[in-house]
Amino acid sequence: MVKFPTATELLVFDLEAYVPEADRKRKTGASLAVNPFREGHTLLGGVFHLTRPRLGETLTKPAFEHHWVWDEGDEAEVVSSIYNLFSGMRKRASLKKQHHADPVVAGVGIAQFDMPCILAKCLAHETAPADEIYETICKVRVVDLAVAGIGFLPSSSPLLYPRTHNALADRFIPERIKKPTGKVVWEMADEKDYAGIAARCEGEVKEMVILAERMLAESQVKE
């Protein structure tokens, strides 16, 4: 049985990327427009909230830590900053016992976009040796809230299918007053609305933290 030491870490985060105009409207193929290996598809950055939940301790400072290309200079610097967050988790967990929980990363849709994007960009920029990148990025435990939320929302879908952020928030955060703007981030980037992108992303991560807490609470076995 897996045990959860008090030092077990949880990283909740969200990334934003820029997609060139020519690649934004596809009539066929994958619904996700961004491809981190395509020319001009830039990782703009993201917001990160790293905690030790059992201790009530927040490790990121400020609590919702921002890394963006317009603050740090370029994509390679942002990728390096994000990699360092993961590397820190890996190093702190390096002496854990086999039956102790691995560090956990959580977010909505991170299995489809955020985690593969980090891996791809670290490899593209040679942030570290490839084998080290794999050990650092791919050996955490990934909890995609879009998948974890399937059983909480009734559906007539003929197969299991991930839920959207808004659908989950409507279910678990009914008190929220304002939904994130539907305007896509790359249009905001075209307009240089960097503050708007950062605020939108932080708002989504804050909601993800609440989603994770409330999903856990509702799934707990009551005696």
Each residue's pLDDT tens digit, 108-128 = 999 999 999 999 999 999 999
Question: Could you read off the pLDDT of 21-79 as tens digits, one per residue?
Answer: 888 877 767 788 899 999 999 999 999 999 999 999 999 999 999 999 999 999 999 99
Which long-range contacts link 78-83 to residues 24+ away (Cβ below 8 Å)? 78/43, 78/44, 78/45, 79/43, 79/118, 79/121, 79/122, 79/125, 79/127, 80/125, 80/127, 82/45, 82/46, 82/48, 82/118, 83/118, 83/122, 83/127, 83/128, 83/133, 83/136, 83/137
Q: How many C-beta neighbours within 10 Å does residue 153 have?
A: 14
In the structure encoding, which two tokens stand for residue 145, read together? 């809230």
- CATH match for 10-23+30-219 among 3.40.50.720, 3.30.420.10, 3.10.20.340, 1.10.3720.10: 3.30.420.10
Q: What is the pTM of this model?
A: 0.93
Cβ-contact 94, 104 below 8 angstroms: no
